[in-house]
Structure 1
Amino acid sequence: ALAAECPALPHPDAPPAARTALRAAHAAYESSFGHAFVISLDGVRPGERLDQVLAGIRSRLGNEPEEERAVAADELRRLARARLAFRLARDLTSHPAGA
């Protein structure tokens, strides 16, 4: 479900080095923790997302597995809240009360 919304992917026009760095960082993370890297990018401008993801992966690679599970769970909760808020706002604007 998270793969459907992957704003962290570099823009197709991103330099090859950026795409390579992201792939390497994801591989290192998954090798260390055995699961995909999860980060909420709410409030992060599109042009800053790649840097934010790379910085997040690099800083979290130093976490102990238990600590990282807790951080990843917090990020998943943030993503879930953001999705629910978006859908609720969309539903309210497409079906206003009393219409």
Structure 2
Amino acid sequence: MTPTHSPGRPAIPCLPTVLDAFNIAPTDEARLLLLDCLRSLRWAERVAAHRPYPTVDALLAASDEAAYDLTVSDLSEALAAETLPVVPEGAYSAAHMAMDAAHAAYEARFGHAFVICLDGLPAAEALDHALAGIRSRLANDPEEERVVAAEELRRVARGRLVSSLRGAGL
């Protein structure tokens, strides 16, 4: 990092950012961080390979672009690693049963876990949103649902990437 210097003041070195750390991390470390966001090896390798990113927005744009390019096989790989959205603590057992039943129907129809991005929703609304989403998406044909699931995975990956950068001090 280049020191910041104003005439008459001591030079203060610029502190590295989380993005800087991601940009200079060994490829294996960057790939592991990315795989925590989306379990597609191709996606993680592509995002890691295009480092360094000048801004977080550039990183997120690359993440989105790589997610849009997932093949059917890549999507299957990523969906196989997903789990059911967590029912908030304190939810009635009927809510757990409703979510379990809806998810079982979804998995039987599409052969993979239901994925939905709940970023930005209040915890109190997350369960209702997930249940409404799973019920409405059960009406999709498999190809239509693949497109919807891919978009939800892209949004989930983006949110997880932002969270992991924030968790590291961004």
Shorter-chain TM range is 0.7 to 0.9
Q: Residue 65 of structure 1 aligns to which amino acid in structure 2?
A: P
Matching residue of 1:84:
161
1:83 CA drift (Å): 1.2
Cα deviation, 1:40-87, whole Å, max 9, x if unaligned, reads: 001111111110100000010010100100110111111111111122
Q: Residue 144 of structure 2 aligns to which amino acid in structure 1?
A: E
Q: CA RMSD in A?
A: 1.6
Distance in 2 between residues matched to 1:24 and 1:89, nearest whole Å = 35
Scaled by the length of structure 2, what TM-score is found?
0.49
Q: How does 1:57-96 map to 2 (within 5 A)?
A: 57-93=134-170
1:35 aligns with 2:35: no
| Alignment length (residue pairs) | 90
Q: How does 1:6-45 map to 2 (within 5 A)?
A: 8-45=85-122
Cα deviation, 1:23-48, whole Å, max 9, x if unaligned, reads: 10000000000000000001111111
Distance 1:2 1:30, change over 3 A: closer
Q: Is the 2:88–2:123 contact (alpha carbons within 8 Å) kept by the matching residues of 1?
A: no
Q: Residue 28 of structure 1 aligns to which amino acid in structure 2?
A: A
| Structure 2 unaligned blocks of 5 or more | 1-80
Stretch deviating more after TM superposition (22-31 or 77-86)? 77-86
1:16 CA drift (Å): 1.6
1:88 CA drift (Å): 2.1
Q: Residue 45 of structure 1 aligns to which amino acid in structure 2?
A: P
1:92 CA drift (Å): 4.1
Distance in 1 between residues matched to 2:125 and 2:169, nearest whole Å = 30
* Runs of 4 or more above 4 Å deviation: none
Amino-acid identity (%) = 57
Q: Residue 70 of structure 1 aligns to which amino acid in structure 2?
A: V
Matching residue of 1:97:
none
Q: Over alpha carbons, which structure has the higher Rg?
A: 2
Scaled by the length of structure 1, what TM-score is found?
0.81
